[in-house]
Amino acid sequence: MNGALGKLGDLRRREVSIVGYRRSIYAAVFWLYLVVATGAIVRLTGSGMGCDNWPRCGQLPVPTEAKTWHPIIEFSNRMLALGAIIFSIIAWLAARRTKGLPRWVVRSTGLVALGTVAQIPLGGITVLTGLHPVAVMSHFLLTLILLAVAIHVALESRRQEHGAVPPLVPLLVRRLGLLLSLAATVLFVTGAISTASGPHPGASNDVRRLFTVEGTVYIHVRATAVYGVVFAGLIVFLFLRRATTARLLLSSLGLLVLLGGQMAVGEVQYREGLPWWQVLIHVAIAGLIWAWTSWLVGSLWRPSTLETRPLTGPLGRLLARR
């Protein structure tokens, strides 16, 4: 962490290469994903009020007097959120010092940094409102939005580093990608509502719930079906055009594997009464699916020369078969 703080001062004084910016935004993406995963641990272990006198944790800023694991879990999540803030600010400062970056990339990187800082007062509101489900969901969904924005600017950094090429798929397929993003958004919002309505609201059984589990899961499953149908159509098209979209197809197949695992975990957790550790696996995979979907859709619209390189080896020969 001290090294990261030292980089803040360095970035204010010197020019940054596109490689340096790419590495900084990749680091921000990684830390934002960690916040998503560890935030789920806080909620699922009932540690949401572990540090109830925000911004302190007990009588001190750190949980030195903790008698249970709840304050430690909540405080650890705060520290990881601090890491996301630091690396997002580093990425923003790097963007400002990188020549040739489009203005929208600099502004979007600044938006990511501002959004991570905004998580501090939002976290305070969440605690002070006694973990109101709307506040908890806002905390979670804001991180997902920031993660998606960070991924799109990371993609642009690849285009700047390796070279930009026109879209490899027609407009109709790119619009299908946008529909996939919309379906993913509905999927994650309903998933957050399902968690807020279930047995893991964040601290105890006294925490307010929005709706019933059965009703929200009903909508969530159907949103999953829409996502799956749209994604299947996208894979079929990329397979038919695999001579020029082999790497996009490979990325889609990786996402397909994640989706298969997610569906299996989701079915098992629901049948076994939503044990917290299974829900945690479900949320962690969900975060990867969200990030992977953002990456794939962004690659459909703004590919780099990396997406045009042919696949080699056994996998390349397998996909080349007709």
Domain boundary, last residue among 162, 179, 210: 162
Q: Are residues 113 and 244 in the same domain?
A: no
The CA distances from residue 84 to 98, 109, 152, 153, 271, in Å, are 21, 13, 17, 16, 35
Per-residue confidence (pLDDT) for residue 321, from 0 to 100: 67
Residues 144 and 200 placed together within one structural domain of the fold: no
Asked if 175 and 294 sit in the same domain, the reply is yes
CA distance to 179, 233, 248, 316, per residue, from 236 (Å): 16, 5, 12, 17
How many domains, in total, are found in the chain?
2
pLDDT 10s per residue in the chain (322 long)? 556 656 555 545 678 999 999 999 999 999 999 998 888 888 777 777 777 777 777 777 777 666 678 888 888 888 999 999 999 999 999 999 999 899 999 999 999 999 999 999 998 888 788 777 777 888 888 999 999 999 999 999 999 999 999 999 999 999 999 999 999 998 888 877 776 665 555 555 455 555 555 667 777 778 888 899 999 999 999 999 988 899 999 999 999 999 999 889 888 877 887 787 788 888 899 999 999 999 999 999 999 999 998 887 777 777 766 5
Q: In this structure, what CATH number is given to the domain that contains residue 113?
A: 1.20.1420
Tell whether 212 and 89 lie within a shared domain. Answer: no
pLDDT value for 210: 58
Half-sphere exposure in the Cβ direction for 171 (13 Å, CA): 0
Indicate whether 140 and 3 sit together in one domain: yes
22 and 154, same structural domain? yes
CB 169 within 8 A of CB 300: yes
Is there a single domain that holds both residue 148 and residue 171?
no
Q: Bridge partners of 84?
A: none
Token pair in block for residue 189: 């919002």
Do 275 and 234 belong to one domain? yes
Tell whether 144 and 247 lie within a shared domain: no
Whether residues 141 and 198 share a domain: the answer is no
pTM reported for the whole predicted model: 0.87
Q: Apex CA 87: angle with CA 82 and CA 91, to 5°?
A: 145
Find out whether 293 and 152 touch, Cβ atoms under 8 Å.
Answer: no
Last residue in a domain, options 130, 162, 194: 162
In terms of domains, do 149 and 5 share one? Answer: yes
- Domain end among 107, 142, 162: 162
Same domain for 151 and 200?
Answer: no
103: containing domain: 1-162
Q: For residue 39, what pLDDT is reported?
A: 84
